[in-house]
A = this chain, B = another copy of it.
């Protein structure tokens, strides 16, 4: 292993230059005028993988191409097989006026590499590619087969990934999937993200009169749909932040003492977070810490309210209707469809008189969880400790990463999330950067990972 790590160290500066070449492609998947840039970026990546010594290929899809790069020519039945997932497409760079330098002209300042896509996700999967390159260039045997799957539509919903996984299921079947696309609190807190929250969206519309009514002439004679909506919404979450939909918490697996202890290790400064978010004080479900509430507890959030007159001044009407957009973050074992049904049932029960209720189910996605004490998790934690030189922490992330559920459903395997993004990396904001120490440690992680993961694989 030492030659691999030495190679990575020795060539680090050169690898940063290569990463800069990669970042120069404006591979913005949300903007149709960049379609050709995505194609060019995929071709460059494929050629780069070939240059490293991988067996690489560009697959066309109805959308942007998918790059596959393999450490093998033919899969060996005796060796475990792991998949590394990443994406070469990037978020829009707008608003450009807030950027300190052009987003596709990489710039190094201290240990920060600025550029759109530097962190999300080019830099992160590039570290894994370089680690494998180090194995190949130093003649060190990789103890497993590795397939890189780098797609170009992550920022626009991974539309063509599912069909691709289904079409190439046989080839892609593997023991586990590695994804570096999450965050860590600091370089002293390398982390395995072992759980993600799910989500379910609901749109609640309360219909009152057939048109906006003059509040002088009719006010007092009819229910106000906006008030009825407020009454419905406060019937769903109480003043202590607890969701009051009957059955909502039924399937929630309580946090174990071990998990609570692990989550308490995540650095958290209440005053700093309060100031960063600009709120008078933090708030959430009573009986849980802020870290637990953000990542390991389900939530009920109103995302938007619309009713009646919204312009300047006032308009004296009883509005015809009122609408709330709502999403609930779910935790492992809660099923989106079941929760949506509970919401619908409860709303029907508590609907005030004089209005008509309409509840539309929106998108949903299940939560995700890998046991933090599984052999796979333990192997990942050992690699993190060796690469970063300190004790890793166990994270649960509050958001969702839908592809991990697709991997589980289609390929039947777990994903280990080993993020390299720091809290100030601005992945979807102006001035995105990637920390070069994170890159360096990420490459070491990418090297140390394969023997550890291989040791867990049952053949």
Q: Which residues of A contact B (CB under 8 A)?
A: 197, 199, 201, 203, 208-211, 213-224, 226-227, 229-231, 233-234, 237, 239, 241, 273, 277-285, 290, 293-295, 297, 299-310, 313-319, 322, 324-325, 327, 329, 352-356, 362-363, 397-400
Q: Chain B residues near A223: list those with CB within 8 A.
A: 279, 283
Given contacts A217-B398, A297-B220, A329-B215, contact A315 B302 (CB under 8 A): no
Q: How close is A270's CB to chain B, nearest CB, in angstroms?
A: 10
Given contacts A222-B277, A222-B282, A301-B316, 5 further A-B contacts (CB under 8 A): A201-B316, A221-B273, A227-B301, A230-B231, A304-B308
Q: Are A221 and B310 in contact (CB under 8 A)?
A: no
Q: Are B278 and A303 in contact (CB under 8 A)?
A: no
Q: Are A304 and B309 in contact (CB under 8 A)?
A: yes
Q: Are A226 and B305 in contact (CB under 8 A)?
A: yes
Q: Are A302 and B294 in contact (CB under 8 A)?
A: no
Q: Are A221 and B301 in contact (CB under 8 A)?
A: no
Given contacts A219-B299, A227-B234, A397-B216, contact A305 B280 (CB under 8 A): no
Q: Are A213 and B400 in contact (CB under 8 A)?
A: no
Q: Chain B residues near A208: list those with CB within 8 A.
A: 279
Among A211, A299, A300, A356, residue most surrounded by chain B Cβ atoms (within 10 Å): A299
Q: How close is A207's CB to chain B, nearest CB, in angstroms?
A: 9
Q: How close is A106's CB to chain B, nearest CB, in angstroms?
A: 26
Q: How close is A237's CB to chain B, nearest CB, in angstroms?
A: 6
Q: How close is A137's CB to chain B, nearest CB, in angstroms?
A: 38
Given contacts A304-B307, A316-B199, contact A227 B220 (CB under 8 A): no
Question: How far apart are the CA atoms of A201 and B216 in the complex, in Å?
Answer: 13
Q: Are B308 and A302 in contact (CB under 8 A)?
A: yes
Q: Chain B residues near A399: list those with CB within 8 A.
A: 214, 216-217
Q: Are A302 and B307 in contact (CB under 8 A)?
A: yes
Given contacts A294-B220, A399-B217, contact A282 B354 (CB under 8 A): yes
Q: Chain B residues near A317: list those with CB within 8 A.
A: 301, 303
Q: Chain B residues near A355: list those with CB within 8 A.
A: 279-280
Q: Chain B residues near A304: list those with CB within 8 A.
A: 226, 307-310, 315, 319
Q: Are B354 and A294 in contact (CB under 8 A)?
A: no
Given contacts A223-B283, A226-B324, A294-B220, contact A362 B329 (CB under 8 A): no
Q: Are A305 and B293 in contact (CB under 8 A)?
A: no
Question: How far apart are the CA atoms of A410 and B395 in the complex, in Å?
Answer: 71
